[in-house]
Amino acid sequence: MRLSTITHLAYAVTLVLTAISASTFILSARSASQERTAIQQHLELDDLAEELAVIAESRTDEARLYVMRGDEQHLARFYVDDDQEGHLEGSIAKLSSLGLSPEEKTMFDRIRNAADAIDAIEKEAISAYRAGRQNDAQQTLFGDEHYRLHTELLKQVEAVRASVTARSQVAVDAAKARSDFFGNIAKSMLVLTALMFLAVLYFVLSRRVALPLIRMSNVVTRLARQDYDVEVLDDGRRDEIGEMNHAIQIFRNNGLERERLDAERRKDQRMKDLMLQMMHRVQACQNQEELSDVVSRFMPQIFPDAAGHLFILKEQGSTLHSLGQWSDPAASELHFSIDDCWALRRGRPHFSEPDGDDVICHHIHMAENSNLCIPLTALGEIVGLLYLETSVHNHASPADRLYFELLAENVGLAVANLQLRQRLVGMAKRDALTGLMNRRSLDEALNRLVEDPGASLACLMIDIDHFKRFNDQFGHDAGDAVMQYVARILSEVVTGKGDVFRFGGEEFTVLLPGLTAEDAEKIAEQLRQSVESSPVSYRGRLLDPVTISLGISTSPQAGTISTVLERADRALLSAKRNGRNRWIQDGTLDQQ
Decide: 349 and 337 in contact? Cβ < 8 Å.
no
Backbone angles phi, psi at 380, to 5 degrees: 80, 0
**Residues in the chain, total:** 592
Decide: 168 and 42 in contact? Cβ < 8 Å.
yes
- How far is 306 from 419, CA to CA, in rounded Å? 27
Task: Output the DSSP codes for 519-540.
Answer: HHHHHHHHHHHHHHHS--EETT
Q: In sequence order, what are the beta bridge partners of 388?
A: 308, 372
Decide: 566 and 588 in contact? Cβ < 8 Å.
no
94: CB partners within 8 A, 6+ apart: none
391: CB partners within 8 A, 6+ apart: 305, 369, 370
Distances (CA, A) of 180 to 173, 235, 344: 10, 50, 97
Q: In sequence order, what are the beta bridge partners of 583?
A: 550
Label residue 387 exposed, middle or buried (CB < 10 Å: 0-12, 13-18, 19+).
buried
Q: Give residue 270's identity as a one-letter amino acid code.
A: R
- How far is 311 from 343, CA to CA, in rounded Å? 13
- Reduce the secondary structure of 461-492 to three states and give it as a string: EEEECCHHHHHHHHCHHHHHHHHHHHHHHHHH
- How far is 293 from 238, CA to CA, in rounded Å? 64
Decide: 436 and 485 in contact? Cβ < 8 Å.
no
Decide: 45 and 160 in contact? Cβ < 8 Å.
yes
Select which of 85, 389, 506, 507 is catalytic. Answer: 506
Decide: 530 and 556 in contact? Cβ < 8 Å.
no
Q: Which helix (H) or strand (E) holds 336?
A: strand 335-337
Catalytic residue list contains 506: yes
Task: Output the DSSP codes for 183-206.
Answer: HHHHHHHHHHHHHHHHHHIIIIII
- How far is 8 from 204, CA to CA, in rounded Å? 13
Q: In sequence order, what are the beta bridge partners of 311?
A: 322, 385
- How far is 469 from 89, CA to CA, in rounded Å? 148
DSSP state of 543: P
Peptide bond into 556 cis (omega under 30): yes
Known catalytic residues? 506
